[in-house]
Structure formats: structure tokens, C-alpha cells
Chains A and B, each alone.
Chain A
Amino acid sequence: MIRIEGLYKRFAETVAVDGVSLQIASGETFGLLGPNGAGKSTTLQLIMGILTPDRGSVTFSGNRDPRELAARRQLGFAPQQLSLYEELSGQENLKFFSRIYGLKGNRQQQQIDWALELTGLQNRAQDPVKTYSGGMKRRLNLALAVVHDPSLILLDEPTVGIDPQSRYHLFDNIEQLQAEGRTIVYTTHYMDEAQRLCDRIAIIDRGRILALDTVDALVTQYGGRSEVRVELADVAVDTGSLPGTLTGHMLQWKSDTPLVELAALAAAAVSVRSIEITRPNLETVFLNLTGHKLRD
């Protein structure tokens, strides 16, 4: 669907995208996960041809340049910044943007209704956007990206700054779009979103892709071992037979197979007050790859 090779983009002193290469398959949901300023938005804009790369290339399926009008027709984009005409109603916004994509008449109305229903905005469609809540504006931002029925949808941090309810609503919307077989490129700095929604993820920091794979593969490869913390009820046991290090009542160790050691503890009849196992996730993957946290 999309082939990206050696993208490089610099703004004055800042190298925003530094040699990004990747391929996105048709029908998959591809995540770009990285902290603020990692170069996610710039990468999306390069993919869409809004920005011209200093080096590298982007090709859509059929060897198409993203700047071709035919290629753009297939593209839906929800910018990170809410991009709406605040003085117009939701319906009018949808009407204008679908008209730009050549929709009219019945088909236009059908698509508008579908987009409003998808995002749950039917009841407020006639109200000016400036009266919407932040979450509703986010949902309209998504509705505008999909109203013309694109096969490729690029969502740039679609959940920034909204209430949990709207957030889950958006997840449902996106899952529905996935189910319809659309290709989605999704950027975020929330690892739980990437984990929940994305088939494959590129971890990006300072303009470079540090790792690219499915969530499970990434965790397996870069997540390291699970961390186990056990609080003992009684310390007067034979400390030599215990795994890990004991500080006070707290016994701590790292392991690929935490259940094996816990089973051994149980067999030795060690009495335990609490057990905590932290499995590696994308957060740990990121920490291991970069040495810093995803969100500071």
C-alpha cells in the first residue's frame, strides 16, 4: 500500500525525520509510537505529500505519487490540531469537505449521515462547532477524515486532550474502520493505544525508527524480563534458597519465567503476603531502546 524509503526532512537546525524507511500493507493498522517532537506528524505530512522530503521517497500502491490527485482522493487525514470551521455547524463542515472530494446529492448525504453516526454526533450536527466539547470536536475531526470513504486513513494523535469516554468512543470508531478493511496509520504517544489498536508499530524517537514489529514481537525482543516483587510474611527462612535479592520483607527478581520461580517458592512453603509481576510492555520497550521514558 505504502512504501517509504529513506525519508529525511530538516527544518532549519532541527532534523525532524532522519532516514525513515518502512512499508505499510493494505488493510493493516500501522502505529507510529514516540514522544512529542519525535517526528511523527512530520512523517505523516511527508507521506501525504504536503511536505517535500529533502531526501527519500514515498510511493503508494500502483507506483503512485501521493501528490497525484487520484492518490489523494483515497486519503483521509485527521490532523493532530483540530482542523474545523468553528463558525460552521458539524453538518456544514462535513458538507464542505465532502463536496471538495466531489461528493454530492444522495451519496453525499448518505456519507455525511454515516460519518455522523460513526462518531455519534447526529444530535449535535446542526450546532455550530464552537459550541462542541473538546471530545466532540475530536470526533468531528475524525468524521471529516472519513466522510469521503477513503481507503487509507491517517490519524495524527486522535485522542489528545479528550475525556476518557470520548476516547473509548474513538477506539470503537477506529476498530469499526479496521473491520471495514481500511488501512490506518496511527500516531500516538500513548503506548496503551498503540498496543490496543495497532497490528504493527514503529517506535520512533528523534526522527529515527528504533524498532518496527508487532507488539508481541517488540515486547519479546526488547521488553526484557518480567519483574517480580514478592512481599514475604516471614523472613526467618533459608535465604540461600530464595531467588533474587531480599531487602527487608521485599523479595525482588527479574525473570523470563516468573511462574517457575513462584512455583518453587510455593513448593518450599514460603508464606507470602503479596505478589506483583510486571510484564514488559511497550513502555519498557521504549525505555530499553532509548534510555528515557515515553512521556516525561
Chain B
Amino acid sequence: MHNVLVIARKDLQLLLRDRLGLFFILAFPAIMGVIFGAITGSFQTDQAILEIAVIDEDHSPMSARFVAALLETGSVQIWNDGESSPSDRQQALDRVRRGRLAAAVVLPSGFGETAGIPWSEPVAIEVGIDPSRTAERGMLEGLLLRAAGDLFAARLRDPAGRRALFASSRQQIERADALPAVTRGLLVQLLNLLQTEAEKGLDRQATDDPDTSNVSAFSAELALARVEFLPIGREPAVEIRTAWRDKVGSRWDLSFPQGILWGVLGCSAGFAISLVREQQQGTFLRLQVAPLARSQILAGKAIACFVTVLTVIAIMVGLGCALGMRPGSPFLLALAALCIACCFVGIMLVMSVTGRTAEAVNGAAWGIGVLMAMFGGGMVPLVFMPGFMRTISIFSPVRWAVEALEGAIWRDYSTMEMLGPCGVLMAIGSIGFVVGTLVLKRRTG
């Protein structure tokens, strides 16, 4: 162990002398974190398709229509088919919290009775939305209202439904004792007028123009539905609620995990290069002659890399906190950092055998790193990626590292939930360690 530490110390000493290397593992990621944070708020998401879950707890024809109308908008993709059980609601909200879905929409029981009747007291649609996608919150709200408008149009278009709608409305007005009799009479008159006009107009329209978009667009203006947002994940800390720091704080929460990953990739690449440079410049030969086991030489490198990754994460977290990031769980963040360090030490060892010269490894390591970052959400956050890229992302260690960091920082993961990404990270790290050392062993005699 003593020798391992001596080697690790030497590697850290070498790193501190390497200005360019330091730039890539500290300054570069910090810049990325700040830039991503600065631009996160301005992403254009109008064209995005929201992946959501709809939990229909009402099971009525109207709620089914609502779901169909929501799908027809072409702007959402529904993860479940609306079949629901109480556990579904929790499951869906959990998926949102873990970033698998943009939002979960719950249609509570009783929703269908009054949905689409403008003058009723609607049952609120409950929505849980990913905090990182607050930019799309307005869009989703609009879509829900549009679907509710569709219900209104549907009620009007269907003769039986229409009659029932007007009958129930007339009943409601007549039963509204609080209103003066005159007003009640006037309202009933108005309702009758509306009904005849509607019958004339809509029946005609239904025969020659099935498009009801005008109606729904018009209806959306009315308060046809009520949307209530459910809390998802961490509430912003009280002290940063006020003023601009509220908004900014959440941005850094999103951008710093990305920035951290760039730093971690920088460490992997840097140590991979130093390992092959050591072989190239012959000091590895000298170490092999020394009374050391080869595993000690590699362990020294690995520990130096490990320590550096942890340091980079710590520095970046410190910087993030200074800007307004508020990690939800320091303990889980530490766990995430440890697992990420293990994973990327393994990756470092694999990177180090991708070439025989420092230049070749440099190129390969950064190529691998950029690919992993690109497909893992290190450049564009995963939530803004098209579906197929998000599927590919499961092969990128960066994706799991980002998930672990986000889980600890703002996704409010439980320790159990952390085991998912952390387990994947540890597995990747172990595979990398085994593959890297085996290849290196074969290569160096």
C-alpha cells in the first residue's frame, strides 16, 4: 500500500505541473457549467414532444375522450395507456421525478362529469412536471386546456350530449337559489337561445366540416379546465426563493452536473495519457524493474485519478453552490461522486490502451469522451434530446453519472433509487478496470 501511495503522490505532483491538463479538468468544466447554466433558460422547446403519463382515475367516456384529444394535439407522447390503479399514479410521479417522463397528468375521478362545461366548477387536473422542464410547463397547460376545449366541442356536437348539457345547465340555474328569480329566468332564456343557435350551426358544421379546431381554439380561452401542479422533487431552498436567485439557482442545478462530467472526462483522458506517456518515455520500464508488483503501479495511477476526480467534483460543487446550486442530499452526492470516480477510473484504464503513443491516446480518449458526453447528456441535456438518442444514452456512462448527480442534487432520489445509476457506474468501472489491466498486462510483457 505504501508504494501505491508513493506512486499516486507522484502522479498528482505531475498533474499539478501540467498547466494544460489542469485547464481541461478544472477551468474547462467550470466554463461549461457556467455557459450551460446561462443558456439553459433560453432553450426553445415549442417544437418538443412531451413524453407524459396520463393516469385516468375517472374511467368515464369523457375522460377517455380527453386523453384522445390530448394525443390528437400531436405534441405529446403518452407513456402509459391510461389504465390506472392507485399505484400507477405514484409510479408515474416517480418516473417524472427521476426524469424518465416530462410530466404526469392525473384525471381524478369525477373529472368526466363536469369536464368541458364552462360554467361548472371543474375537477382539477393534477399535473406533476419535471422541475428541469419548467420551460414547457406553459405549453403543457395549453395542451390540457385545448383538450378540455375539445370536450366542450364534443358535448355540443353530439345531439344527445348537447341536450343533456343544456338540460343539466337549466337544472343548475333553476336550482341556484342564490340568484334572483328574474336573473334565473333571463339565464334560462339565454340558454334556450344558445341551444337553438348551436343546433343550427353545429349540425351544419358536423356534416360538411368535421374540423373543430376553431371551436377548441375558441374554447381554450374559457376556463374549461383547472390545472393544479403537484410538487415534484425538491422545493427550491427558502433562502434562494427570493428575487433572481430562485430562477438562477435551479439553472445551476441543471448545468453543473454537466460541467462536472466534463471535468471527470478530463481527468480520465489526462490520466490515460499520462499512463501511456509513462510507457512511452520509459519510466514505466523503470517502475517495472523496481520491487513493485505491476498491480501496484496501476493502483497508484488509479488512486491518483480517483482522488483527482473527487477533487474536481468537490471544486465544481463548491463553485455551483457559490452560484446558487443547492444539493438536496450531501450524503447521496458524496455517494454519487465515489461511484463516478470508480467508473471513470475504469474508463481511464480502457482509454489508456486505445493507443501506443500519448498523441494517439489523447485523440482516442477525447473522441470517446465527447461521444459519451454527447449521447449521455453532457452537451445537450437529455430531456431536450430526441427519443432515439435518449435510448442510445443508456450506453453512455455519462448519462448514469448525470443521473446520479441529479438524483442527489435535485431529484430527491432515495438511497434505494441511487443504487440504480450507482450500480451501473460501478459495473462499468469494474469492467473497465479488468479490461484495461488485462490489455496492459499483455502489452507490457
Q: CB within 8 A of A100: which of B18, B281, B292? A: B292
Q: Contact between B445 and A79 (Cβ–Cβ < 8 Å)?
A: no
Given contacts A52-B445, A101-B290, contact A85 B282 (CB under 8 A): no
A88 within 8 A of B: yes
Q: CB within 8 A of B13: which of A75, A79, A84, A92? A: A92
Q: Contact between A100 and B13 (Cβ–Cβ < 8 Å)?
A: no
A245 within 8 A of B: no
Interface digits, A60-100 against B, CB 8 Å rule (1 contact, 0 not)?
Answer: 00000000011011010101011111111000100011011
Q: Contact between A77 and B289 (Cβ–Cβ < 8 Å)?
A: yes
Q: Contact between A81 and B289 (Cβ–Cβ < 8 Å)?
A: no
Q: CB within 8 A of B286: which of A69, A77, A102, A128? A: A77
Q: Contact between B445 and A72 (Cβ–Cβ < 8 Å)?
A: no
CA distance A50 to B292 in the complex (A): 12
Distance from B20 Cβ to chain A, minimum over Cβ atoms (Å): 12
CA distance A66 to B7 in the complex (A): 22
Range for the number of chain B residues in contact with chain A: 20 to 34
Residues of A with C-beta under 8 A to B3: 100
Distance from B309 Cβ to chain A, minimum over Cβ atoms (Å): 21
CA distance A99 to B7 in the complex (A): 9
Q: Contact between B285 and A100 (Cβ–Cβ < 8 Å)?
A: no
Q: Contact between B14 and A84 (Cβ–Cβ < 8 Å)?
A: no
Distance from B298 Cβ to chain A, minimum over Cβ atoms (Å): 14
Residues of A with C-beta under 8 A to B17: 87-88, 128
B283 within 8 A of A: yes
Residue ID in chain A nearest B9 by CB atoms: A96
Residues of B with C-beta under 8 A to A52: 445
CA distance A291 to B288 in the complex (A): 38
CA distance A48 to B291 in the complex (A): 11
Q: Contact between A82 and B13 (Cβ–Cβ < 8 Å)?
A: no
Interface digits, A91-124 against B, CB 8 Å rule (1 contact, 0 not)?
Answer: 0100011011110000000000000000000000
Q: Contact between B290 and A97 (Cβ–Cβ < 8 Å)?
A: yes
CA distance A209 to B18 in the complex (A): 45
Q: Contact between B6 and A75 (Cβ–Cβ < 8 Å)?
A: no
B287 within 8 A of A: yes
Chain B facing A: main interface SS: helix
Given contacts A52-B445, A81-B281, A84-B281, contact A96 B10 (CB under 8 A): yes
Residue ID in chain B nearest A92 by CB atoms: B13
Q: Report how many residues on chain A are interfacial, defined by Cβ distance under 8 Å.
A: 29
Given contacts A51-B445, A100-B3, contact A79 B290 (CB under 8 A): no
Residues of B with C-beta under 8 A to A83: 281-283, 285-286
Q: Contact between A87 and B290 (Cβ–Cβ < 8 Å)?
A: no
Q: Contact between B282 and A97 (Cβ–Cβ < 8 Å)?
A: no
Residues of A with C-beta under 8 A to B285: 45, 50, 77, 79, 81, 83
Residues of B with C-beta under 8 A to A50: 285, 288-289, 445
Interface digits, A31-42 against B, CB 8 Å rule (1 contact, 0 not)?
Answer: 000000000000
Residue ID in chain B nearest A84 by CB atoms: B283
Distance from B356 Cβ to chain A, minimum over Cβ atoms (Å): 14
Q: Which of A249-267 contact B (CB under 8 A)?
A: none
CA distance A88 to B286 in the complex (A): 16
Residues of B with C-beta under 8 A to A45: 285, 445
Distance from A164 Cβ to chain B, minimum over Cβ atoms (Å): 24
Distance from A100 Cβ to chain B, minimum over Cβ atoms (Å): 5
Given contacts A72-B289, A84-B281, A101-B291, 6 further A-B contacts (CB under 8 A): A70-B291, A72-B291, A79-B285, A88-B13, A100-B290, A100-B292
The 4 nearest A-B residue pairs measured at CB: A83-B282, A87-B17, A69-B291, A72-B291
Between-chain CB contacts (< 8 Å), 23 pairs: A45-B285, A50-B285, A50-B289, A50-B445, A51-B445, A69-B291, A72-B291, A77-B285, A77-B286, A79-B282, A79-B285, A82-B281, A83-B282, A83-B283, A85-B10, A85-B283, A88-B14, A88-B17, A100-B3, A100-B291, A100-B292, A101-B291, A128-B17
- A-side interface residues toward B, CB under 8 Å? 45, 48, 50-52, 69-70, 72-73, 75, 77, 79, 81-88, 92, 96-97, 99-102, 128, 144
